[in-house]
Chains A and B, each alone.
Chain A
Amino acid sequence: MATTARTADTRAAPGARDRTAAPSERPPLKPQTAILYAVLIFYGIFSLAPFILAFISSFKTYGDIVNNPASLVPQPITGANYQQILGSNAPFPHYIFNSLVYAITTAVLNVVLASMAGYAFGRLEFPGKNVLFALTLAVLMIPTQLILIPKFLVVNALGLANTFGALIIPAMVTPTSVFLMTQFMKSLPHELEESAMIDGAGRFRAFWQIILPLTKPAITAVALFQFQGAWNDFIWPLIVMSSQDNYTLTVGLSYFKGVNFIFYNLLLAGAAINIAPLVVLFFIFQRYFVQGISTAGLAGR
């Protein structure tokens, strides 16, 4: 009860300020406000419409998709596209599995390894720290596609080409994750592990038992970004995975676009399968996504 009352109060406050001009009970909707909401709603539709249309159309037949691309009612409604993609003979369940392996493994490894590195950068003093952290920031600004070819040649020289090692090992701890963890580690009060260590705990125990549990928001952001990055990654798996058994979902989807024919019906169902998990994750964890992006945005200061 108290909470609702307080929310109502804060909501009334801006209105109260407006009322100094027009002393009526409810302030009339100002034209600026109406325009503001109109623009917001318009851009919202603009952001959402392609997805809605594609999702609805993934339940259409091929003919319906090509003849009525803009209709919002499939005629007939069919689940055949999904059946064809996810059916027992189709390779897609296997591609989805490969993508999940790539995304989950690198997300977990980034959480563990980047929090260790972030702990060292954020909370320990050692010679070379500033140089190495500056290097991390510099690497963030290197165009990643530019080291694609040499990275492929290194992976090839290590005998990792066409194995999951090629996907996972180079991505197991990224500079972005390390930067995010470092920023968060720095913000925690310094007395935390000192007191623990006075009580006899070692560095690793202090890190593992005291600090790590407190970094949950940063850990969540790192895990989400890495999952998203790996799940959406296209060019790297395209380059390093040569046998069809090792394709990820994105690489598999790219083959719906044949040279002479495009299976729009399967393509839209496949795109929906690719998008859905991220949308679910985003709705659950959006606070952490937003915090993570905002923190990453501080890199330039």
Chain B
Amino acid sequence: MQIAERLPFVVRPRARRQRHLNWRRILTAYAFLAPYLIVLVVFTLIAVLYAFYLSFYRVNLGIEAPVFRGLKNYQNIWFDLTHDGDFKVGLINGVKYTVGVVILQTVLGLALAVLLNQRVRARGFFRTLFYLPALTSSVAISLIFLWLYTPDGAINRLFSIFGLQGPNWLHDPLTALPAIMLLNIWTTAPTFMIIYLAALQDIPPTLSEAARVDGANGWQVFRHVTLPLLRPTTFLVVALGTIGAFQVFDQIYLMEGAEGGPLRSTLTPVVNIYNTAFRSSLFGLACAEAFVLFVVIFAFTIVQRRFIDANIQY
């Protein structure tokens, strides 16, 4: 409204609206869209189709033209899955990682948002503070934690204050993956906190007040009024979290190396695909692995949608 008033033009209602779309209008619209559509088509759509095509080929970049090998790549994946190969190990680690990270970061993001949605002074200050881990590059964070997680590092020094002996975080197969999971929860939860906070502030206060009048306590209001209203946000946060967690690469590559050590305990699907493509030069197989992973993530997202829908009662 204010914006319209500031305009130097006289706002005249249109005498008659042109209902039909003429070619010029269509051309103008597509001219505006052209750069975006070109990038989208070339680097996403063609890339996906190309990957699907190559998943049936053997690809040796710069050595030979792609050689058709039918379902061989997919058969290789099947063999890998039935014989404890890297792809299977990566997939299992990926599922463990994703389930742990998504559940905890969603709960943490929601909890932080609920806390900040109280009558809090200096809300902006706390929000800024909490957001810092999400702002920083995964490379800088991974390198800092490579140092903090050393056996005699700051984290274990903190443990020793309480008389506890901290583990060799990144080199013990039992703790390596959880250590990186904790790191990722810490860096991703603040983004979801902001999304939840925006959603919480969208909820009209009259709803919770009405429930209060009906005698509901704080927890009941949260459980039966707030949480159901946050359902679309929860689905989004869980879906984005799943996609992000399944794709973890930077942290593993920097802290544990491309082998996903110790003893493949941190080998995740994308690290594995990276190895297949860039260390073994099996690009066709890497494309096939990417498609199988895509199907897994897609299935996960659908199951979550069902689960989130079913678990909320009105």
Contacts and interface: CB of A to CB of B under 8 A. Distances in A.
Contact of B247 (A143, A272, A290): A143
Contacts of B270: 145-146, 148
Contacts of B199: 297
A112 B120 CA distance: 39
Nearest to B47: A150
Interface SS, B side: helix
A274 interface: yes
Interface residues of B, number: 101
Given A194-B14, A299-B236, A271 B3 contact: no
Interface SS, A side: helix
Contacts of B119: 14
Given A156-B61, A293-B191, A293-B194, A300 B232 contact: yes
A150 B195 contact: no
B35 A278 contact: no
B54 to A, nearest CB: 7
Contacts of A195: 7, 9-12
Contacts of A156: 61
Of A48, A146, A228, most buried by chain B (CB within 10 Å of CB) is: A146
A149 interface: yes
Interface in B248-291: 249-250, 253-254, 270, 273-274, 277-278, 283, 286-287, 290
Interface of B: 1, 3-4, 7, 9-12, 14, 21, 25-26, 28-30, 32-33, 35-37, 39-40, 42-44, 46-48, 50-51, 54, 59, 61, 112, 115-116, 118-120, 124, 126-133, 135-141, 143-148, 150, 152-154, 157-158, 186, 190-191, 194-195, 197-199, 232-233, 235-237, 239, 243, 246-247, 249-250, 253-254, 270, 273-274, 277-278, 283, 286-287, 290, 293-294, 297, 301
Given A43-B112, A116-B32, A198-B14, 8 more contacts: A50-B145, A54-B144, A143-B246, A147-B47, A152-B277, A210-B7, A228-B135, A294-B198
